[in-house]
C-alpha cells in the first residue's frame, strides 16, 4: 500500500486509529458508528435501489452516486444493533465523501486491514468492510462508465 494512493480523509482516519491503544480504537469505532448519517429520503423510500452487502453478517445496504463532475457520493445503511458494521460504513462514507471516481478506484482494497483494527475487531469481521469497499468501487466503475 502506498500513501500516494490514499486520499487525505482516509489517511487521517487511519492515522487517528493507529495513534490509539487497542481498547481506545474500539471507542473510536463506536464514535464513527454513531455518526453514520440516515439515508436521504430518495433511498429511504426505495430500498430496491440499494445493494445488499452479503459479506456482512448483518443487513447492510449501499448506493453510490456519481455526478457530472465525476464526484462520488456514497450512502450506506446498517442496523442499530450492529454498531461495528455501522462504524465500518461510517468510515467509508466519511473517508470517500467528495472524492473523484479515480480517487475512489485508487483506494487499495485492503485499506480496511490497514487501520489498526485487526487485533481489536478481528480480520474476519473486517471482511465485511472489504466487501463494502469492493461493492462501492464496482458501482463507481459501472456508474462512471455510463457518464
Partner 1 sequence: MPIENDPSPAFAAFAHPERLVSTDWLSAHLGEPGLVVVESDEDVLLYETGHIEGAVKIDWHTELNDPVTRDYLDGAGFAKLLGSKGIARDTTVVIYGDKNNWWAAYALWVFSLFGHKDVRLLDGGRAKWEAEGRAYTTVVPTPAPVDYPVVERDDSVIRAFRDDVLEVIGSSPLIDVRSPEEYVGYRTSAPAYPEEGALRAGHIPTAQNVPWAKAVAEDGSFKTRPELEEVYLAGAGLKPGDDVIAYCRIGERSSHTWFVLTHLLGFENVRNYDGSWTEWGSAVRVPIVKGAEPGAVAH
Contact 63, 72 (CB under 8 A): no
Residue 77 CB, nearest approach to partner 1 (Å): 16
Residue pointed to by grid coordinates 470517500 = 96
Residue 113 CB, nearest approach to partner 1 (Å): 14
> Which spans of this chain sit near partner 1 (rule: CB under 8 A)?
26-27, 29-30, 33, 54-55, 57-58, 81-85, 87, 119-122, 124-125, 127, 131, 134-135, 138
Q: Which is nearer to partner 1, 20 or 30 (CB)?
A: 30
Q: In angstroms, rounded to a whole number, what is the distance separating the alpha carbons of residues 70 and 102?
A: 8
Phi, psi at 2, each rounded to 5°: -115, 145
Contact 110, 48 (CB under 8 A): no
Residue 55 CB, nearest approach to partner 1 (Å): 7
Nearest to 107 by CA among 98, 96, 116, 118: 96
Q: Which is nearer to partner 1, 55 or 114 (CB)?
A: 55
Q: Which is nearer to partner 1, 127 or 143 (CB)?
A: 127
Q: Which is nearer to partner 1, 38 or 81 (CB)?
A: 81
Q: Which is nearer to partner 1, 2 or 80 (CB)?
A: 80
Residue 123 CB, nearest approach to partner 1 (Å): 9
Residue 56 CB, nearest approach to partner 1 (Å): 11
| End-to-end C-alpha distance for the chain, whole angstroms | 29
Q: In angstroms, rounded to a whole number, what is the distance separating the alpha carbons of residues 129 and 132?
A: 5
Amino acid at each position: 500500500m502506498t500513501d500516494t494512493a490514499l486520499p487525505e480523509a482516509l489517511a487521517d482516519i487511519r492515522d487517528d486509529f493507529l495513534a490509539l491503544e487497542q481498547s481506545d480504537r474500539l471507542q473510536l469505532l463506536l464514535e464513527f458508528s454513531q455518526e453514520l448519517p440516515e439515508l436521504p429520503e430518495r433511498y429511504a423510500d426505495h430500498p430496491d435501489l440499494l445493494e445488499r452487502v452479503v459479506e456482512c453478517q448483518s443487513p447492510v445496504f449501499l448506493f453510490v452516486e456519481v455526478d457530472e463532475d465525476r464526484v462520488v457520493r456514497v450512502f450506506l445503511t446498517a442496523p442499530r444493533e450492529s454498531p461495528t458494521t455501522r462504524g465500518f460504513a461510517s468510515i467509508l462514507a466519511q473517508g470517500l465523501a467528495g472524492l473523484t471516481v479515480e480517487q475512489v478506484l485508487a483506494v487499495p482494497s485492503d485499506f480496511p486491514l490497514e487501520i489498526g483494527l485487526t487485533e481489536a475487531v478481528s480480520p474476519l469481521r473486517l471482511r465485511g468492510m472489504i466487501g463494502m469497499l469492493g461493492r462501492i468501487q464496482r458501482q463507481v466503475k459501472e456508474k462512471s462508465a455510463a457518464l
